Structure 1
Amino acid sequence: MTADATYPARPETGADDTGDVQDPAAARRAVAARFAALTCAGDPAGGAGPPLAEVPLRRPRRTAARLRALYELGRADLSLARLAEGHLDAVAILDEVAGAPVGPGERWAVWAARPPAPAPGARCLDGRWLLDGVRPYCAGAHCCTHALVSADAVDGRRLFAVRLAQSGVRPVAGSRRAVGMAGSDACDVAFTAAEGVPVGGVGAYTDRPGSEHAAAGVAACLLGGARAVAETLYASARRRTQDAFGAAHLGAVDTLLSSAVTVLERAARDIDADPLDARGAARIRGLRVQALAELVCAEVLAHVGRGAGGTPLCHDARHARAAADLSVLMRLHPVERGLAELGRLFCARDDNGNDGGEDVR
């Protein structure tokens, strides 16, 4: 089974309509418009995928459909997929922790990763929670309406729902300069007495099972982005213009992608079989799936580069942007960190080999 056989092919639009690879600002505007369309009525004609409101939550045990939608978005445009994945993750967090839906026309982000620099602080003043500090690399800084933001309070790390159209929230000009993932609208954001509404108690958003299940969504986006990069090899094969050298690289790429998609499908079944993580398997599963996706992405980039040479990078704007986007996004989730944690979890097994995770199959 190939990756194409597992997930529907991306519709051919016939035009590179997601922004100029040479103009990051144009890419950001184009992706923001597509993201706004997806959060409203969707954009099926453009090949971006179904409306985000139609993408199922994990809780109804339709994880495979959720991951398929993210894969297709990653294949269409990885910057768009990053914004969509953040919005869908926010919808899931609000549902699982607070039992609250998002409002019509709202576009949400999740800015909750633990940054290398100090996180913003949170203080309670006269019953209002206020956030102060700078959070780096916030996707959707200009185009989102709300964000779930983690901040350090006196009693620990909390998550807050923050309305971005307030004077205390300001994207930091000049903090985003890269071409890769330019359309994701990611930059540093400064908070100055910005009002936020607590979402659950201390650690509520990380303690829920869905926190570990979310890794599969990131993996789906990455694998969709890898398939977009590989399109230049698949296209050569369809035109029968590929030599034996390129065909060997395509064979390697197809094996990597189809195997990773199979693992992703298995992860979806396992999540749906145990959505509340009664077996305690979610952490190891998430680490495995995300690490595999990142390793596959690195191999796909290498094989496509050797198999196609420099021509598509120099003459095909869509391919050049897809390769740049994938290179940046996979670096946001350092594979070594996940592999090291996975190794430590296995080192911590008891004498019976019980680590609370899944068996190696």
Structure 2
Amino acid sequence: MNGTPAAPRPVRISSAPAYLHTIGPLLSAAQAGVGDVTALLDLAKGAGVTAPKPGEGRTAYLWEILASVTAVDVAAGRVLEPHLDAAAILAQAGLKPGLHAALNGEGGDSADSDAAKVAGAQFSGAWGVFAAEAPGLRLEAREAAGEWLLHGSKPWCSLASRLDHAVITAHMEGGGRAAFAVDLHAQGVSVADPGWTSRGLREIPSGTVQFEAVPAVPLGGPGWYYERPGFAWGGMGVAACWLGGAVAVARSFTASLRKAADGGREPDQIALARLGEIDRTLAALTAYLAATAARIDSGELSGKGAWQEALRVRGSVAAAVERIQRLVSQNLGPGPLAFDEAYGKRMADLSLYIGQHHAMRDDAQLGALTLKGEDPW
């Protein structure tokens, strides 16, 4: 044993093993970049150029990228997912990369110029997606002299001080919310120290960003951000990241049982039962995601039912992640949490990441949609 870490393994949802092998270099970069935010942002920017977008025929492969990177390091997946989501949002808004312009105002004064501003900046830096709301904080978009300006505060803006641009939602004067592309280096943007004390995702602080008359480019119009099927697809992409984290926990548990067996301590029936439950849980989840990705690519999940399916996917994956974490931690005890840095980081990162799921509130929303429609079962 020379101490060299093993090459990271991709997480398979449905791709052929030979095709899945193409994720290898990205996983090696994620492994080398653990704890290095600059390296993880560079990884995201590189992946954003080549990764497929949801609904274009390779959704399962996109989710395999997200799951596989997160299996290497949960924080890496947390950096990668919003950048790829932002690229998809810009594409869904009808913007194409490759035009030479920037969000700082280069170009003409037509609607096409606005598109050029965003498209030219699409892959020039790191992007985030900021759509969260919080009591007492409000971001408003106001139109003045043909220009949209952002005023107010936006909470839960992860890595805002390290990103270049963001897709951000803001309240409209006439009611409702809309999405905008914004330059986070623009005058009027203020990113305060969030006082991030979390033990999970320590390298990815999330805080409140202030906007004072900051120019922004509208994307899709009022309501479009939430009504597009891509909103649901993006939510399922986050669930793919959660799945990757759970796979990593399961793999470390399996490795610990094998190591113990090699040392003469065979796993007891309880450990084997827990591993068996984890196996069938992950097998069911990957099959579910494979089928769902195929439905997205076929156009079946491009209407109102997309969000209902997203709630099912997210709820199923979130519950499975929490169950797998509990099974493993009960079997291994406190030792690895105290002495295994990679294991402890993964468990803390994943616990915080899964907190994005709204648990019973999302189930209540799903129940309301089920009550109004036809029973799918």
Q: Output the TM-score relative to the length of structure 2.
A: 0.81
Matched, 1:95 2:91: yes
Give, in angstroms, the shift of residue 233 of structure 1. 1.0
Residue 54 of structure 1 pairs with residue 60 of structure 2 = no
Cα gap change, 1:57 to 1:83, in 2 (>3 Å): same
Q: Aligned partners of 1:154, 1:253: CA distance in 2, in Å?
A: 49
Q: Which residue of structure 1 aligns with residue 310 of structure 2?
A: 286
**Separation (CA, whole Å) in 2 of partners of 1:269 and 1:315:** 42
Per-residue deviation at 1:18? 4.9
- Structure 1 residues 324, 18: CA separation in 2 closer, same or farther (over 3 Å shift)? farther
Could you tell me how far apart the structure 2 residues matched to 1:117 and 1:327 are? 26
Deviation at 1:237, TM superposition (A): 3.2
- Indicate how the Cα distance of structure 1 residues 203 and 242 shifts in structure 2: closer, same or farther if over 3 A, else same: farther
Distance in structure 1 (CA, Å) of the matches to 2:352 and 2:332:
20
In the alignment, structure 1 residue 213 sits paired with structure 2 residue 219: no
Matches within 5 A, 1:69-84: 69-84=65-80
Q: Secondary structure at the match of 1:190?
A: strand
Render the CA deviation track for 1:222-281: whole Å, top value 9, x for unaligned.
010112222321112332255213222222222222211111111101111216625x42
- Change in 2 beyond 3 A, CA 1:195/1:213: same
Over 3 Å counting, the alpha-carbon distance change for 1:235 and 1:31 in structure 2 is farther
Distance 1:180-1:18 versus aligned 2 partners, 3 A rule:
farther
Identical-pair percentage: 31
Q: Does 1:31 align with 2:9?
A: no
- Deviating more after overlay: 312-321 vs 230-239: 230-239
Aligned equivalents of 2:348, 2:256: Cα separation in 1: 21
Structure 1 alignment gaps of length 5 or more: 20-26, 41-50
- For structure 2, the residue ranges without an aligned partner over 5 or more in a row are 1-9, 15-19, 98-118
SS in structure 2 of the partner of residue 143 of structure 1:
coil
Once residues 157 and 166 of structure 2 are traced to their aligned partners in structure 1, the CA distance between those partners, rounded to angstroms, is: 9
Partner of 2:279: 254
Cα displacement (A) at 1:332: 1.7
Does 2:249 match 1:243? no
In structure 2, distance between residues paired with 1:242 and 1:217 = 38
Secondary structure of 1:182's aligned partner: coil
Which of 318, 322, 326 pairs up with 1:302? 326
Equivalent pairs counted in the alignment come to: 330
**C-alpha distance in 1 between matches for 2:207 and 2:67:** 24
Structure 1 position 134 matched with structure 2 position 159: no
1:321 maps to what in 2?
Answer: 345
Q: Which region of structure 1 is more displaced relative to structure 2, 200-209 or 316-325? A: 200-209
Note the aligned Cα RMSD (angstroms): 2.4
> Amino acid of the residue matched to residue 348 of structure 2?
A
TM-score by length of 1: 0.84
2:194 aligned partner:
174
Runs of 4+ with >6 A deviation: 7-13
